[in-house]
Structure 1
Amino acid sequence: MQIEKNKSKIFENNKNQSSNFKEHFKDFLSFALETIKAIVISLVIIIPIRYFLIQPFYVKGASMEPTFNNHDYLIVNEIEYRFSSPKRGDIIVFRYPGDKREYFIKRIIGLPNERVKIENNKVFIYNNKFPKGVEINEKYLNEKDIKKNADTTLNGNEYFVLGDNRNNSFDSRFFGTVSKDLIIGKVWLRGWPFNNVKIFKEEMYNLPK
């Protein structure tokens, strides 16, 4: 009888262990499914944001100083220009017209159908509103000694871009205008360095009414 009792206990223990294993497996399976669900939902949200709404870029070089420095980490808004046109003063990331594998960052100075003239360290805009030309006041510049002059008339989908570090920038004075289809997006946020985080709003120029 003693042996039968021990066998019964062993059988009961095996049943309990089997039941516990099933419960743990169900818990694990439930956890795994929830984890997979969370990953899928995250990817569904993140991938469109990453590839269609915003995109990160690192600044390389000094052509946009003092606004940006080398290795600044920027977030670029890719969707805004699908619903509106680029504005004067917008800082944009675009594909270099000479090699579309390269990305440049510059500031828009001239808009479609305008004439941009740079002389005597001043930038002048000619358009329907200002047929005789008007100087734009660029308060974001540290230095206004512009060594490279220019005189360019833009077509209907072209933009004239300049670096804020005018004497250390390869821009429209050298490679010409940038067509809208080459523009990736508008710089929205500087995320690095942390002590210099900034959201970039529309640049306002003191142009006469």
Structure 2
Amino acid sequence: MSKDKIKKEIYEWIKSIGLAVIIAILIKTFIFNSTYVLGSSMYPTLHEKDRLFTNKVVYFFNEPQRGDIVVLKAPDDPEKDYIKRVIAIEGDLIAIKNGKVYVNNKLLKEEYIREGSYTYGNIKLKVPQGHVFVLGDNRERGASKDSRYFGPVPIDLIKGKASFRYFPFDNRFGFLY
């Protein structure tokens, strides 16, 4: 093989690798991100060390919906991210009383929390425009810093929707509901 052919081949490889790196950075920056779960605030839905794909594009086109699992910039610590479930959206009346959650005066069916869980707090408020009310699925006392602690969350703090658990490779692998 001639030196010119080798140089051309190396140049093509460098271009291909460079393009692949640029595409990967664009995808990670604008489309998907990987999220690593620390803590038990979303137990039993998510466990510590679960790894998730977070869709960053979905909220450019739609507002968060009740039931979405979202990654958000922590309102009480800008250096951290939290993962929580959207319980109520702007305009909803949220109430927590006697360990139960009510949205718009209707008892919220929460099949994702442990049976018999008691939701601590005594809250009654209307979610302001441009905000959501989030809770962790783990309702044990002190298990989750969420809207009971820091109030409704501005939508612009939401970084994406957790949509797929890709690790561990067990019966929990797959799409999140």
Give the structure-2-normalised TM-score. 0.92
User: 1:141 matched to which residue of 2?
Assistant: 113
Residues 67-100 of structure 1: per-residue CA shift (max 9 Å, x gap)? 0111111111001000011000000000111222
Structure with greater contact order relative to length (CA < 8 Å, sep ≥ 6): 2
Q: Give 1:110's match in structure 2, choosing from 56, 80, 88.
A: 88
Q: How many residues align?
A: 173
Q: Give 1:169's match in structure 2, choosing from 125, 131, 144.
A: 144
Q: Give aligned-pair identity as a percent.
A: 36
Q: Give 2:56's match in structure 1, choosing from 75, 78, 82.
A: 78
Tell me the secondary structure at the aligned position of residue 80 of structure 2. strand
The answer as to whether partners of 2:101 and 2:119 remain within 8 angstroms in 1 is no
Query: Which whole-Å CA distance do the structure 1 matches of 2:122 and 2:114 have between them?
Result: 18
Tell me the secondary structure at the aligned position of residue 79 of structure 2. strand
Show structure 1 runs of 5+ residues with no match: 1-22, 127-132, 202-209
Query: Which whole-Å CA distance do the structure 2 matches of 1:194 and 1:53 have between them?
Result: 23
User: 1:190 matched to which residue of 2?
Assistant: 165
User: 1:204 matched to which residue of 2?
Assistant: none
Give the structure-1-normalised TM-score. 0.79
* Greater Rg over alpha carbons, structure: 1
Query: Which whole-Å CA distance do the structure 1 matches of 2:5 and 2:20 have between them?
Result: 22
Tell me the secondary structure at the aligned position of residue 38 of structure 1. helix
Residues 134-169 of structure 1: per-residue CA shift (max 9 Å, x gap)? 111111111422232322221111100000001221
The RMSD of aligned alpha carbons is: 1.3
Higher-helix-fraction structure? 1
